[in-house]
Structure 1
């Protein structure tokens, strides 16, 4: 065991190695206990060595988010949009089960990371490939909200509310610079389709009231359909991840 630890300490330090070690540390002890000092100790280096690869803890956290979001299964080409989206969202939820800190970490960022943007862009791409209009894809992404990443913002989750400062699900900027638009074309496409409402809490450039009512109507329609079918809730799931 000591020999294995010695080999790890002699492994050249890299950004990828740092990020993966940080993810493992957060998985084991929680994101709150993660610091550059204890991460350096885990890697067998001095703290200053980390700063050659990550500028600060914010950049470290962004990189960790991209590592875990990169674990979400890619969409299966050729399938219908509905099972494709459902399976991918459930894959995102399984990722959160492996990394319980990730949902709050994603929400804590002021801007979405490149990995999150790539994931969201691919999901919009599924809707667009299925023939959804740009406007409908835009509204659907708002209606899905954080569920698209495998979690939801529960009304009565006191622990969760205590850890938040009013942040909503990460949103792409309403306008995209050319290089970002080339990298995330589907997000750029729906961003420019937004109606303008400067005071929106949903996202700059979006009609807050319309997006709220759109999602509300979707939920009510679904509830009505289940009620007509005499839906009985299934037994409690033993899903080991965060209950959101």
Structure 2
């Protein structure tokens, strides 16, 4: 049932598919679903937890930097597969076992690396905010392919006064329209900035006197 609900959500873009549609996909009567769940919230809880089970867990012995990159890439991939999940993945008041297992493992990466508890909280917050935000923006931006980039850029440039908006013109012409440009490539660069900042924060915490 939960897998069918996730598939419908992926197809329709809705986080909570209608019970009737789920029943039709399963070839059963809608009322029979209530033998397994109390309401649509139960289904959404299960859907969210199923997505969490798709996320890669840390590999024993890997550095926190590598674990962070893999976690971020895995989360981004899941949010790309399930765009509806971006707004609800962390919204459930009673997280399921997949959610708990994943979040505990991610916290453990930083704690084992020597991150203080508060810095661990900062690290997880900033990384998740970045990944969720990037996934949401990528889903909504109409520039997934070079053809789409060119089409959108041509539309902007057609009515753009280059003298009045020189920096925007420069960004479009000298960057976005150059061969090989892909907005998705910005993800790794931004993630590296976060990791580098966390490395400096951890060093400062270990040596607060700077000496």
Does TM, scored on the shorter chain, surpass 0.5? yes
| CA distance in structure 2 between the partners assigned to 1:153 and 1:67 by the alignment | 22
SS in 1 for 2:133: coil
Q: Does 1:151 align with 2:132?
A: yes
In structure 2, the partner of 1:30 is 13
In structure 2, the partner of 1:106 is 89
Which 4+ runs in 1 deviate beyond 6 A? 153-157
Q: Deviation at 1:130?
A: 1.0
Deviations 1:88-135 (A, max 9, x none): 11111111111111112225x352622333322211100011111222
Q: Does 1:118 align with 2:64?
A: no
CA contact (8 A) 2:48 2:85 kept: yes
Q: Does 1:236 align with 2:165?
A: no
In structure 2, the partner of 1:89 is 72
CA contact (8 A) 1:69 1:119 kept: yes
In structure 1, the partner of 2:27 is 44
| CA distance in structure 2 between the partners assigned to 1:54 and 1:111 by the alignment | 17
Q: Deviation at 1:144?
A: 2.8
Alignment TM-score, normalising by the size of structure 1: 0.53
Q: Deviation at 1:145?
A: 4.0
| CA distance in structure 1 between the partners assigned to 2:56 and 2:136 by the alignment | 29
Label 1:97 to 1:154 Cα distance change in 2 as closer, same or farther (>3 A).
Answer: closer
SS in 1 for 2:54: coil
CA contact (8 A) 2:76 2:135 kept: no
Q: Deviation at 1:235?
A: 2.6
| Runs (5+) with no aligned partner, structure 1 | 1-17, 161-231, 240-244
Q: Deviation at 1:33?
A: 7.2
Q: Deviation at 1:237?
A: 4.0
CA contact (8 A) 2:57 2:71 kept: yes
SS in 1 for 2:35: coil
CA contact (8 A) 2:16 2:44 kept: no
CA contact (8 A) 1:106 1:112 kept: no
Label 1:24 to 1:136 Cα distance change in 2 as closer, same or farther (>3 A).
Answer: same
Q: Does 1:134 align with 2:80?
A: no
In structure 1, the partner of 2:164 is none
| CA distance in structure 2 between the partners assigned to 1:98 and 1:32 by the alignment | 13
Shifted more, 87-96 versus 133-142: the winner is: 133-142
Larger radius of gyration: 2
Deviations 1:114-169 (A, max 9, x none): 2333322211100011111222212222333433xx31279999x79xxxxxxxxx
Alignment TM-score, normalising by the size of structure 2: 0.60
Label 1:81 to 1:97 Cα distance change in 2 as closer, same or farther (>3 A).
Answer: same
Larger helix proportion of the pair: 2
Deviations 1:48-99 (A, max 9, x none): 1111111111110110011111111121111110111111111111111111
Label 1:238 to 1:129 Cα distance change in 2 as closer, same or farther (>3 A).
Answer: closer
